[in-house]
Structure formats: C-alpha cells, structure tokens
Amino acid sequence: MNYKLKKISGDASFREFYRLKKGKNSSIVVQAKKEKFKNLITYIVVNKILEKNKIYVPKLISNHYEHNVIEITDLGQKSFYNSIIKKKKKFKDYKDLIKIIIKLQNIKLKKNYRLGKFKVNFQNYSIKNLHKESDLFFEWYLKYCSKISKQKKVKDIIKNELTKIYKKLYFQNDTFVHRDFHASNIMINKNKLGLIDSQDAIIGNPLYDVASLIDDVRIKLPSNLKEKLLNYYYYKSRFKKEKYKNLKNDFEILSVQRNLKILGIFVRLFKRDGKPNYLKYLPYTWSLIEKRLKNPVFKNLNLLFKKHLKIKKLKKINNL
C-alpha cells in the first residue's frame, strides 16, 4: 500500500497537522511540542467523553506518546465555515450548531479522568481564569497597538472594572464548555457535523460557547440573525424558565471578555509566531466589542475605554 504524508494548514496553536493517505483511506497525524504534549492527552480524553455522548468527533487510531504524536480519524476537508460563508440564509444551518452546544451542555462531567498513567482534570472557569484570558488584550494588543503611556496604570484601572463586570455573571460555572466553538472548528463529513479542537474544554458558564459561536470574529452575521439564534438557544436549552435578560447579560459579558482575549491572541500570532493573516479580523473584533458595550452593565467600562484607549484610533492598527 502507498503512504503519503502531507502537511496541512493548522490552527492558531502549537500543533502541526498532517494528512496521512493510505490508499483510498486517510487519517490525521497530530504532533505537539514536547512541553505541550499533555494537551494531546486531554484531547483524547475529551473526545472519548464527547463520543460517549453521541457527538461526532475524531477517534484515536494510534498513539505514539514517546514522540509527542497521535493519529486520529480524518473528518474531511470541508468546514462549516467553508459551507456557510457565502450562504444568504444561514439560520437553519446555525440552528444545528446550537443543538450541538446544547448536547455538550447536557454532559455530566466528572472532575477527574484517566488515560493510562495520565490524569486529566477539568478546571472551573473562575474569575481568575477569565482575567487570565482577557489579560492577553493588555499584554499583546495594547502593548503593540497603542502609544498610550502608563500602560500598567491603564491596565489596572480597566482590569478592576472588568472584575466588577465578571462578578455580575448570573449563571454558575457548572457546564461543559468547549471554549473555542466556532464555524471553523466544525467539520462536515458525509452530511455529519463533527467537532474538533476540543482539548481546552473546561467547566464554565453556559453562555460562553454560545457567545463564541454567535459573535464569531470570522463571520459577520446580521444583528437580527444573532438575536434570533440567541432566542433559539434560550427556548431550546434548559434555561428557558430563566429570565431572558439574565441570559443576555451573560452572553454579552462573555462576548466582550472573549473578544478582548482574541485581540490579544491575534496580535500575538502575528508578533510572536509570524502569522499576519489574523490581523484582518481585528477591526471587526473591535466592532463586536463596541456593539456589546452598549449594554448598561458596561457603562463604566465604556467610559474608561473612551478615556484611556481612544478606540477609533486603535481600530486602525497603525502601529503594527
């Protein structure tokens, strides 16, 4: 049998991906940096959990732990993003992704899992974790995209306000959160929707993945469609007896938190990893943040942004 190994474009991580052709069949070989190998173990464990809960994910074919490599099944080359980006009517397709999120949220997670000698723990999405992510905005985006003096002082002022906002999250951290649920991480294979890139799963707020999907910086969805999708989630999820305003509150807080993180990550990918392609998403990411800042819960944060950051200038990204 002929074997062909071809490198394929990966994600925004430390991993490298290869498609291994074996005659008419193919699989994916994933290699991680040595110090990040535990990440692959977590990926295997999470996928086993998802598969058990009837969610279509890559299966482990073989592991080569000593070489920081695993081989998994190939879910094909067509992503939901490729399928949806040029469609005019998107609601029906997006409903299917909301259904996957609801299935994820029905998973009863244990704190600890084992894979051979390896132990995998699921962290809780605490305020400390939320800050760890949004701090990337200050460490990368603000550092390289602004000429603001006294950046530490500005960071402390804004971070203090973010703490107050994070404390206003209504729902508890008791739900399976994929943590990177968006159109590019859903593959379409034989008319089945498959979920990839699940290794960062955590126990957290149910609106995190919903915000990640609806306020995806890669796809500009109309505002009325976003609202329609959030309503669809509300009535189909286990929270339909809750007040809608509580759900909307958490959705908008987590959207701002996530997109602040994304601004930092995308600048880091350019500055540290030499991946300039992500810079094209920065202006729209800011637009998403500005839209959510209209919620009264962000009144003080909005004032601080206008006073210290001068958003309009930052959106031009002149300094990169």
Residue 268 contacts residue 140 (beta carbons within 8 Å): yes
User: Of 76, 56, 83, whose CA–CA distance to 194 is shortest?
Assistant: 56
Could you list the residue range(s) of the whole structural domain that residue 180 is in?
80-115+122-315
> What's residue 10's pLDDT?
61
Do 40 and 104 reside in the same domain of the chain?
A: no
Series of mean pLDDT values for 10-residue runs along the chain (320 residues): 77 78 88 77 93 96 87 94 94 98 93 85 92 96 82 93 98 95 95 94 96 97 97 96 96 98 95 91 94 96 88 59
Strands (E), the chain: 3-8, 16-22, 25-31, 60-64, 69-73, 112-115, 118-121, 175-177, 186-189, 192-195, 202-204
Do 155 and 291 reside in the same domain of the chain?
A: yes
- Which of 12, 46, 73 finishes a domain? 73
In a domain, 320, yes or no: no
CA–CA distance, 264 with 246 (Å, rounded to integer): 28
Do 226 and 274 reside in the same domain of the chain?
A: yes
In a domain, 15, yes or no: yes
Residue 296 contacts residue 173 (beta carbons within 8 Å): no
Do 27 and 158 reside in the same domain of the chain?
A: no
Do 215 and 165 reside in the same domain of the chain?
A: yes
Q: Look at the chain and report how many structural domains it folds into.
A: 2
> What's residue 112's pLDDT?
84
Do 196 and 252 reside in the same domain of the chain?
A: yes
Residue 133 contacts residue 261 (beta carbons within 8 Å): yes
Q: What 3-state class would DSSP assign to 20? A: strand
CATH of the domain at 64: 3.30.200.20
Residue 39 contacts residue 199 (beta carbons within 8 Å): yes
> What's residue 241's pLDDT?
92
Do 194 and 286 reside in the same domain of the chain?
A: yes
Do 154 and 90 reside in the same domain of the chain?
A: yes
Residue 10 contacts residue 16 (beta carbons within 8 Å): yes
> What's residue 16's pLDDT?
86
Do 22 and 141 reside in the same domain of the chain?
A: no
